[in-house]
Amino acid sequence: MSRQSYRNILVIRLSALGDVAITLPVLYPICRANPERRFVVLTRRFPAQIFDVECPDNLKVVGINTDNYKGLGGLLRLARELRRDYRIDAVADLHSVLRSHVIDAWMRLHGIAVARIDKGRGEKHALTSGKIHRQLTTTHARYKTVFHELGITARGNHFTALKPDGDSTLLGRDKGVGERWIAVAPFSQHKGKEYPLEKVAQVVAKLAANPGVTVLLFGGGEKEKAALAPLAAERDNVVNVAAIDHRLKDELRLMSQCDVMLSMDSANMHLASLVGLRVVSIWGATHPYCGFMGYGQSIDDAVQRTDLPCRPCSVFGNKPCRYGDYRCLSELNPDDIARLALSERKTTT
């Protein structure tokens, strides 16, 4: 089958919310530039919610519970179901792990074209081992290359910030004239990417001390909700958004109304980027050079220690600190972070 004749393209990204969020700035323009094709995204159930906002008409999202497709037999059954239900004739594997490789192999055996992401593992290892220190290919660019290998491009279409619909906010009120809403998302999956919470509290206090500023605290799950409660208890203009029952779409709408977000190298950086919100991002064990900077964000808004030869030591922040003190994070100055968050700069989305 000619590359130009592919009509039903399976897009695989079975991963965490932030990883799936990174696909949208690439996938949405491709969908809109190729209305004659159908794109079927295979992901997990929770991240699938992110496609509820401005999803292109020719994009179908299949959110699965991976527990229902365990082992080799389960993955082969999943591959058969996808081909049967959606008449798949090409695969864009944006994940490239053992699970997706099984699906890829089955598809190839049945004459279906497969393009798979090159994650640049060698380069990233060289970066984290100190052999090189330069910007690597971004994840967004790597995703584009996968589609290009299938002969599918955006043809001049560009990603524009999402505008989640709805008239109300989670706060139950609109932003006042001259008021600034500053989002703070202090959590990450790994310790090597988290600014110490006691220092986050200092930053929040400095932000909230400014007239007209309301600080909105973002997090997920009971543990994070409880950790944020003391930060919100001390001031009326600090709101624990994590304690308010809401959907992901509601959270994106609230982010779109904020003026800036302070975030770790985490999912919230990518969610904020989707709605065009400027992000002041904090980097510890990881580094923007690995290629995971939020879409449209500026390196000038990346807070990091540039004088530590041990940085970056990890691509994902999951390695323990060789010194045990995570100095790449603990020695960042709360005053500098608050000052940058209060400054004004726009994103490029």
Give the pLDDT of residue 15. 87
* Inside any domain, residue 320: yes
Token duo for residue 104: 């890829």
Residue 235's identity, in one-letter code, is R
Residues 199 and 140 in one domain: no
Residues 210 and 62 in one domain: no
* Inside any domain, residue 169: no
Flag whether pLDDT at 77 surpasses 60: yes
CA-CA distance, 231 to 211, in Å (whole number)? 18
pLDDT in tens, 247-278: 999 999 999 999 999 999 999 999 999 999 99
Please state, rounded to an integer, the average pLDDT across all residues of the chain.
95
Residues 256 and 110 in one domain: no
Q: 238-240 and 279-282 as β-strands: parallel, antiparallel, unpaired?
A: unpaired
* Inside any domain, residue 304: yes
CB atoms within 10 A of CB 174: 11
- Domain of 247 in residue numbering reads as 180-342
Mean pLDDT computed over 344-349:
66
Going by pLDDT thresholds of 50, 70 and 90, the confidence category of residue 111 is: very high
Which secondary structure element, helix H or strand E, spans residue 100, and what is its range? helix 98-109
Going by pLDDT thresholds of 50, 70 and 90, the confidence category of residue 346 is: low
H helix intervals, the chain: 17-21, 24-33, 71-86, 98-109, 121-128, 139-149, 197-208, 221-233, 248-256, 267-274, 327-330, 334-342
Residues 197 and 329 in one domain: yes
pLDDT in tens, 175-229: 989 999 999 999 999 999 999 999 999 999 999 999 999 999 999 888 999 999 9
Flag whether pLDDT at 312 surpasses 90: yes
* Inside any domain, residue 171: no
> What's the half-sphere exposure (Cβ side, CA atoms, 13 Å) at 212?
8
Domain count, the chain: 2
Mean pLDDT computed over 87-102:
97
* Inside any domain, residue 172: no
CA-CA distance, 349 to 347, in Å (whole number)? 6
> What's the half-sphere exposure (Cβ side, CA atoms, 13 Å) at 195?
27
Residues 126 and 32 in one domain: yes
CATH number at 222 reads: 3.40.50.2000
Residues 202 and 278 in one domain: yes
SS3 assignment, position 253? helix
Flag whether pLDDT at 285 surpasses 80: yes
